[in-house]
């Protein structure tokens, strides 16, 4: 008899929620992670009392009250509202695209004036059903917004022409004809008070975790430990890349601790939307939690293509990779002892609330409660 009901590979959000839910139902779980800490990419380092989002900015938002109540049951969330700025050739613009942005671009003050300009630009382009990200963006916001605030950012973020990217990526960006700089449309958003590690610690409380354990290297022995494996790592790596590698975008972060500066940019997120600047954004972490520390930590985010050894951040859901994914998914569907879940195993551009929702739905179904 194996010692555990579940061996959960990966202590990120999917693995932690799964482990929590299974443990609640009296299942015995072991969580392992190849990293030296839990939390996956929501993990934060603490520098001078500032929670630094080590693997990139994470801002929690959801429309789902159950998910909001769920995360708040582990740690209260603050009232942080994401209102990023975009810097393009020395000019600052508000995001997401709203009346403030349109005033900054064209000096228009009324929604009607802004709509007229955008409508005119869209008509001039004469695009039918959008086939890619560029067409999708152009037919939503017209040429000016696209060229100043989308094209450069998107192409450096993805390392591909906007014409070769799927349209859905840009659907994340709202367009509004009100003076509202709130990036998200969701009812609920915020940052855990005291940082994201509190959320992970809450989820994994009293659950056995082993760090610095590499499942891929040690799977022969690890598989004997449990009835079921919950794998949250890269699906292609699970199958030894046998059909080839799924593409990811990776990121390189340059963290700087500015010891003589209390407030570097006055906002948590400033996007650099021109192509010529190699990083996509600068994050100033203290502003996520309204920090009053005498120093500050900033992070420049440089996108790059993923190579073995890099952290895989964003799946590249273009046609080629979706085809390759299907081949791996066929192998996955035939597994009887393995559950695949989360951003890497599902190869999906998931937000945190979606990962949590997916793990909750999975456990509910598994334990037949839905």
In the complex with ligand UDP, the residue whose CB is nearer, 5 or 310, is: 310
In the complex with ligand UDP, the residue whose CB is nearer, 38 or 157, is: 157
Beta-carbon contacts of 10 under 8 Å, excluding residues fewer than 6 positions away, are 31, 32, 33, 40, 231, 232, 233, 342, 344
In the complex with ligand UDP, the residue whose CB is nearer, 92 or 211, is: 92
**Site map (CB under 6 A) of ligand UDP, residues 59-88, x = contact:** ---------------------------x--
Beta bridge partners of 4: 226
Which pairs count as long-range contacts for 164-170, CB under 8 Å and 24+ apart, including other chains? 164/132, 164/318, 165/132, 165/133, 165/134, 165/318, 166/132, 166/133, 166/317, 166/318, 167/130, 167/131, 167/132, 167/133, 167/135, 167/136, 168/317, 169/133, 169/349, 170/133, 170/136, 170/137, 170/140
When asked if residue 352 is in the footprint of ligand UDP (CB under 6 A), the reply is no
In the complex with ligand UDP, the residue whose CB is nearer, 214 or 318, is: 318
Give catalytic status of residue 93 as yes or no. Answer: no
In the complex with ligand UDP, the residue whose CB is nearer, 170 or 203, is: 170
Rounded-to-integer distance, Cα 358 and Cα 360, Å: 5
Rounded-to-integer distance, Cα 269 and Cα 348, Å: 24
When asked if residue 172 is in the footprint of ligand UDP (CB under 6 A), the reply is yes
Q: Check if the beta carbon of residue 13 is closer than 8 Å to that of residue 40.
A: yes
Give catalytic status of residue 25 as yes or no. Answer: no
Q: Name the one range near ligand UDP by CB under 6 A: 21-29, 37-45, 148-156, 210-218.
A: 148-156
Q: Check if the beta carbon of residue 331 is closer than 8 Å to that of residue 344.
A: no
| Total residues binding ligand UDP (CB under 6 A) | 13
When asked if residue 150 is in the footprint of ligand UDP (CB under 6 A), the reply is yes
Percentages of the chain per state (helix, strand, coil), in multiples of 5: 40, 20, 40
Give catalytic status of residue 281 as yes or no. Answer: yes
Give catalytic status of residue 301 as yes or no. Answer: yes
CA-angle at 157, arms to 142 and 344, nearest 5°:
120
CB of 368 to ligand UDP, least distance (A): 34
Q: Name the one range near ligand UDP by CB under 6 A: 33-41, 149-157, 188-196, 339-347.
A: 149-157
Rounded-to-integer distance, Cα 263 and Cα 168, Å: 35
Choose, by CB under 6 A, the member of 62, 82, 154, 354 that binds ligand UDP.
154
In the complex with ligand UDP, the residue whose CB is nearer, 142 or 207, is: 142
Give catalytic status of residue 351 as yes or no. Answer: yes
Q: Name the one range near ligand UDP by CB under 6 A: 38-46, 170-178, 283-291, 335-343.
A: 170-178
Q: Check if the beta carbon of residue 301 is closer than 8 Å to that of residue 283.
A: yes
Choose, by CB under 6 A, the member of 17, 29, 30, 95 that binds ligand UDP.
95
When asked if residue 101 is in the footprint of ligand UDP (CB under 6 A), the reply is no
- Chain residues binding ligand UDP by CB under 6 A are 86, 95, 149-150, 153-154, 157, 169-170, 172-173, 271, 273
């Amino acid at each position: 008899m194996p010692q555990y009901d579940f061996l959960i590979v990966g202590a990120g959000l999917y693995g932690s929620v799964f482990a929590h839910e299974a443990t609640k139902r009296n299942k015995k779980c072991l969580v392992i992670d190849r990293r030296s800490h839990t939390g996956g990419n929501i993990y934060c380092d603490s520098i001078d009392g500032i929670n630094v989002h080590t693997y990139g900015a994470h801002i929690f938002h959801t429309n789902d009250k159950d998910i909001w109540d769920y995360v708040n049951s582990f740690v209260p969330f603050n009232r942080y509202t994401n209102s990023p700025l975009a810097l393009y050739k020395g000019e600052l613009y508000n995001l997401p695209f709203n009346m403030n942005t349109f005033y900054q671009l064209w000096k228009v003050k009324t929604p009607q004036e802004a709509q007229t300009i955008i409508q005119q630009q869209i008509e001039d382009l004469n695009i039918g059903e959008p086939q890619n990200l560029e067409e999708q963006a152009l037919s939503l916001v017209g040429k000016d917004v696209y060229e100043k605030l989308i094209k450069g950012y998107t192409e450096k973020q993805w390392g591909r022409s906007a014409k070769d990217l799927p349209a859905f990526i840009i659907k994340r960006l709202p367009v509004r004809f009100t003076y509202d700089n709130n990036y998200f449309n969701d009812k609920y958003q915020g940052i855990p008070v005291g940082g994201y590690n509190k959320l992970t610690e809450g989820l994994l409380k009293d659950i056995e975790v082993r760090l610095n354990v590499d499942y891929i290297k040690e799977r022969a022995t690890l598989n004997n430990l449990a009835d079921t494996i919950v794998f949250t790592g890269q699906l292609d790596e699970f199958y030894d890349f046998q059909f080839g590698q799924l593409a990811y975008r990776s990121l390189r972060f340059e963290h700087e601790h500015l010891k003589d500066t209390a407030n570097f940019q006055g906002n948590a997120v400033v996007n650099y939307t021109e192509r010529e600047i190699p990083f996509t954004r600068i994050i100033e972490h203290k502003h996520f939690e309204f920090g009053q520390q005498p120093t500050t930590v900033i992070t420049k985010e440089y996108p790059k293509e993923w190579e073995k050894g890099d952290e895989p951040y964003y799946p590249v859901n273009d046609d080629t990779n979706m085809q390759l994914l299907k081949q791996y998914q066929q192998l996955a569907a035939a597994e009887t002892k393995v559950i695949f879940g989360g951003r890497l195993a599902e190869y999906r551009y998931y937000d945190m609330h979606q990962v949590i929702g997916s793990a909750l739905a999975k456990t509910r179904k598994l334990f037949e409660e839905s």
